């Protein structure tokens, strides 16, 4: 008995079959791409949950002028616990970089609003960064090579995540131990040794203000050290940081004046005069921070 030939599928059925396969292939590619985008983010979230009991080793990639961070459970030899870092340095960094560090949830809404106002409304060419210490830490550890808008979204999400999982003191300790202080120079231990031949615990208020002055652009602002003479800009910023430390109660008025008029051991020439003298109104000053208050830094 002759076998009947199978009926030829309609043309539209073939078209739908091809469309279906293409659709499935696109879904597979989309899932792979989403996984590619999300996996580093998920990895960063997991890494953050381990920060309370871990540290970061730093390997300097001198060719690309960047740091490579490796999270470890054993404290590296160049890591300095927060209680071994000068209270003056902690006060200088907070006063300079993020005055509300211990009270905000990871971001400073007022600074963000001011930055948006300066950039969008006033259309200023130079706009303040508005990044908190927490945001700077997240960017350094997880997003050094990412300059996209999407990075800012991920950065904010991880900022909220780290604030929810890590104590403020540990965030500050990690920040001070991983940030850049100069050309291929990372971590407070190496910075204190390089600039002042000191342990981090021994830094004075003025030395602390100098390191705080470096942070926005360490390679550029370290020119004062390279030339062994403070630039007018560096001198002005150091004086400003010292004044903020006085206002915040991190140093007293006597220590303020002592450090204002002192010089670094490496300075070869007289300091430049400040562009604008700072007038102190005693009524606007906080009382000098006690040892117990500074212990919370």
pLDDT of residue 2: 55
Closest of 81, 87, 290, 296 to residue 202, by C-alpha? 87
Cα–Cα distance, 54 to 99 (Å, whole number): 26
Calculate the alpha carbon distances from 249 to 87, 245, 284 in Å.
Answer: 12, 6, 11
Closest of 23, 26, 7 to residue 15, by C-alpha? 23
Cα–Cα distance, 236 to 213 (Å, whole number): 10
pLDDT of residue 66: 86
The CA-CA-CA angle for residues 179, 170, 127, to 5°, reads 45
CATH architecture of 31-295: Orthogonal Bundle (1.10)
Closest of 164, 166, 188 to residue 82, by C-alpha? 188
pLDDT of residue 122: 47
Decide: 215 and 96 in contact? Cβ < 8 Å.
yes
Q: How far apart are the first and last CA of the chain?
A: 95
Neighbours of 210 (CB within 10 A): 25
Q: What averages of pLDDT result for each successive group of 10 residues across the chain (297 residues)?
A: 60 67 63 59 92 96 88 97 97 95 87 53 47 94 76 89 97 97 95 97 97 93 94 94 95 94 83 54 53 46
pTM of the model as a whole: 0.78
pLDDT of residue 292: 46
């Amino acid at each position: 008995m002759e076998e009947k030939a199978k009926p030829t599928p309609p043309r539209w059925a073939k078209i739908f079959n091809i469309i279906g396969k293409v659709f499935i292939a696109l879904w597979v590619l989309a899932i792979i791409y989403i996984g590619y985008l999300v996996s580093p983010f998920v990895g960063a979230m997991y890494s953050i949950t381990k920060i309370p009991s871990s540290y970061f080793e730093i390997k300097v990639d001198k060719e690309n002028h960047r740091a490579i961070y490796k999270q470890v459970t054993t404290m590296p030899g160049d890591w300095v616990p927060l209680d071994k870092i000068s209270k003056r340095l902690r006060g200088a960094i907070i006063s300079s970089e993020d005055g509300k560090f211990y009270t905000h949830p990871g971001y400073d809404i007022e600074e963000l609003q001011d930055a948006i106002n300066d950039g969008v409304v006033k259309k200023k060419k130079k706009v303040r960064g508005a990044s908190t210490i927490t945001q700077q830490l997240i960017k350094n550890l997880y997003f050094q090579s990412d300059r996209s808008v999407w990075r800012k979204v991920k950065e904010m999400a991880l900022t909220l995540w780290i604030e929810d999982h890590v104590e403020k003191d540990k965030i500050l300790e990690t920040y001070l131990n991983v940030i850049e202080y100069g050309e291929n120079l990372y971590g407070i231990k190496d910075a204190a040794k390089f600039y002042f031949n000191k342990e981090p615990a021994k830094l004075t208020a003025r030395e602390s203000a100098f390191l705080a002055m470096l942070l926005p652009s360490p390679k550029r602002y370290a020119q004062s050290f390279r030339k062994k003479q403070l630039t007018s800009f560096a001198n002005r910023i150091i004086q400003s940081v010292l004044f903020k430390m006085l206002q915040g109660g991190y140093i007293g008025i006597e220590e303020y004046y002592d450090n204002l008029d002192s010089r670094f051991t490496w300075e070869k020439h007289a300091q430049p005069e400040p562009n604008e003298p700072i007038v102190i109104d005693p009524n606007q000053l906080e009382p000098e921070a006690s040892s117990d208050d500074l212990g919370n830094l």
